[in-house]
Amino acid sequence: MMSMIRKFTVIGAGTMGHGIAEVAAISGLEVWLNDVTEDILKNAKEKISWSLSKLEEKGQIKSKDEVLSRIHLTTDQEEALKDTDFMVEAVIEDINIKSKVFSKADALSSDNAILASNTSSIPISEIAKYVKKGERVVGMHFFNPPVIMPLVEIIKGEKTSEETVKEVYNLAKRLGKDPVVVNKDVPGFLVNRILFRVNEVACWLVESGKASIEDVDYTSITDLGFPMGIFLLQDYTGLDVGYLVGKAMEERGFKTYECKMFEEKFKSKELGVKSGKGFYTYP
């Protein structure tokens, strides 16, 4: 198993993937960030660059350019996975797509590399079926924005070895995170099983006419101590992400109140901050 990481691979350069790549590069690792088009990678680099500028201004990193120089962008999955010591997958929450990534990673990486998923909801044991040595597959779930949020859930699947869990725990510490090991490999793990209950009550309050979106958000900050309102957080995370994560959990037996508003927002592509409109509008 990996003991020293020389190469850290991130598959998927969206909201979570680019943030994870940034965190790893800040900690001094050489990072390969892979996605399917040059445009997605360009966009990811711009976002990382913006974030690193903020950190540099605040003296939280020494040099933005130095960190950026450790991030290698590639559309070639083989290049990203060849001789890697550690891969974390952060593609869309769809087992058909994740299974392809893991099958390919199984074929292209060395047997010693750890293969992690940043899935928010899909049990690791289900993902591990696509890899011959399931003991090297593990969940490593970051929260948005990865560069700021300290928590990382480390999820142990049925076959994940203790050694893999230990290595990933140490890695999370090296990235400056506060990891929690989740031994129950259930849909949504720990945080999303709580968060989705909160979201469904918030939605039910609004849909049943008992409260407005603004009132729910105001009270969640002022009284409940949330850093942002419940609906604002969904705009921030992306209403597509929330919808697909909810669906993935529901398909695996986690029953929730069916929130019509969430579905309508997803279908009308009002996805929150990224699309300029969600529950609120953004300039």
Instruction: Provide the annotated active-site residues.
Output: 120, 141, 153, 192
CB of 78 to ligand CAA, least distance (A): 29
Give backbone dihedrals phi and psi of 33, rounded to 5 degrees, phi first. -110, 120
Q: Which of 1, 68, 149, 205 binds ligand CAA (CB under 6 A)?
A: 149
**54 or 269, CB closer to ligand CAA?**
54
| 147 contributes a contact to ligand CAA by CB under 6 A | yes
| 201 contributes a contact to ligand CAA by CB under 6 A | no
| 249 contributes a contact to ligand CAA by CB under 6 A | no
CB of 85 to ligand CAA, least distance (A): 25
- Residues 6+ away with beta carbon under 8 Å from 270: 239, 277, 278
User: Which residue pairs from 57-66 have beta carbons closer than 8 angstroms and sit at least 24 positions apart in sequence?
Assistant: 61/26
Q: Which of 30, 43, 66, 145 binds ligand CAA (CB under 6 A)?
A: 145
Tokens 């949504």 label which residue?
A: 188
170 SS3 class: helix
Q: Which stretch binds ligand CAA (CB under 6 A): 2-10, 177-185, 226-234, 253-261?
A: 226-234
List the Cα angle 23/154/2 in 5-degree steps. Answer: 70
Asked if 61 and 147 count as a contact pair (C-beta separation under 8 A), the reply is no
| 234 contributes a contact to ligand CAA by CB under 6 A | no
The size of the interface with ligand CAA (CB under 6 A), counted in residues, is 17
CB of 127 to ligand CAA, least distance (A): 15
| 55 contributes a contact to ligand CAA by CB under 6 A | yes
Q: Which of 65, 184, 228, 276 binds ligand CAA (CB under 6 A)?
A: 228
CA–CA distance, 224 with 108 (Å, rounded to integer)? 47
CB of 236 to ligand CAA, least distance (A): 7
Q: Which of 117, 192, 199, 220 binds ligand CAA (CB under 6 A)?
A: 192
| 227 contributes a contact to ligand CAA by CB under 6 A | yes
Q: Which stretch binds ligand CAA (CB under 6 A): 65-73, 77-85, 95-103, 145-153?
A: 145-153
| 51 contributes a contact to ligand CAA by CB under 6 A | yes
**55 or 68, CB closer to ligand CAA?**
55
| 150 contributes a contact to ligand CAA by CB under 6 A | no
**Pairing, β 137-141 against β 151-155:** antiparallel
Residue nearest to ligand CAA (CB): 120
CA–CA distance, 4 with 233 (Å, rounded to integer)? 36
CA–CA distance, 16 with 20 (Å, rounded to integer)? 6
Sheet containing 71-74: order of strands: 71-74, 31-34, 8-11, 86-89, 114-117, 137-141, 151-155, 178-182
Helices (H), 31-181: 38-57, 64-69, 77-81, 95-108, 124-128, 162-174
Nearest 10 degrees: CA dihedral of 244, 246, 252, 257? -140
Note the residues at the interface with ligand CAA (CB under 6 A): 51, 54-55, 120, 143-145, 147-149, 192, 227-228, 233, 237, 241, 245
